[in-house]
Chains A and B, each alone.
Chain A
Amino acid sequence: SYELTQPPSVSVSPGQTATIPCSGGNLGQKYISWYRQKPGQSPVLVIYQDKKRPSGIPERISGSSSGNTATLTISGAQAMDEADYYCQAWDFGTGVFGGGTKVTVL
C-alpha cells in the first residue's frame, strides 16, 4: 500500500523557520494537503493542492512540492504553531496520511 513518510518531530526556535518534509513515491504526480492538529482538537486544513492556503491561514505557513517530496514551511515560528502536522494525498482513490510530525517551538 502507498505510504507517506514524515519525521516524527521537528524543533524550531521562536522566530526561526521550521520545515516539515513529506515523501512518497510519485508524489510529484499527486496533490498534497497539510493539516494542523493541536492537542484535544480535530485536524485543520492549512495547505491544499501543494501550496494554496485556505482563508484564515497566515502567509508564514507555506507549502511546496518537488520530485517525491512535499514540504510545509513555517516561517517566523510562534508558540501557537506548536502542533502535530500531517500530510495527505490520494493513491488510486484511497486517502493516505503521513504519520505526522510534532513541531515544538522552544
Chain B
Amino acid sequence: QVQLQESGPGLVKPSQTLSLTCNVSGSSINSPAYYWSWIRQSAGKGLEWIGRFCIDGTIRYNPSLKSRVSITADASNNQFFLTLESVTAADTAIYYCAREIPIDWFDPWGHGLLVTVSS
C-alpha cells in the first residue's frame, strides 16, 4: 500500500522560508514511472498544484509560484521536499504531497499538513 506523509513546521513567519518533507512508503521515488507532486489547498483559492519532481530529472513548477518554489528529493531515504521562499499570509494552506501518474492523475495523496503564515 502506497502511503505519503507530510511533515514540517505548522507555523512560519512572514518573509521566511517554508520547508516541508514528504515521506513515501510502498513506492520508490527512484522509479521513473512516477512523478511526485506538491499541491496546496487554501480557503481562498481551492486546490493549487505547486510542482513536481521525477528521478529522471523532470522538474516543473506552477508558473504562479515558480520564482519562489523549489522541489528536491533524497532518494536514499525515499523522501522529497518543498521549499517556498518569502512567504506571506496568502501562502497559508493545507499542503499535500501526492504521487502523480505523469501528466495524468494524482493517487494517492498524503494526509495534508496545515501551514499558517503569521507573525
- Interface size of B by CB at 8 A reads 22
Would A45 and B107 be within 8 Å (CB), given that A93-B60, A94-B60 are in contact?
Answer: yes
- Interface size of A by CB at 8 A reads 22
Report A-chain residues with C-beta under 8 Å of the C-beta of B106. 33, 35, 43, 45, 88, 95
**Contact check: which of A86, A95, A100 meets B62 at CB < 8 Å?**
A95
Q: Say yes or no: B105 contacts A97, CB within 8 Å.
A: no
Could you list 24 examples of A-B contacts with CB < 8 Å? A1-B63, A31-B104, A31-B105, A33-B104, A33-B105, A42-B96, A42-B110, A42-B111, A43-B96, A43-B109, A45-B105, A45-B107, A45-B108, A48-B105, A86-B46, A86-B47, A88-B47, A88-B106, A90-B103, A94-B60, A95-B106, A97-B46, A98-B46, A99-B46
- Residue numbers of B with Cβ under 8 A of A are 37, 39, 46-49, 60, 62-64, 96, 101, 103-112
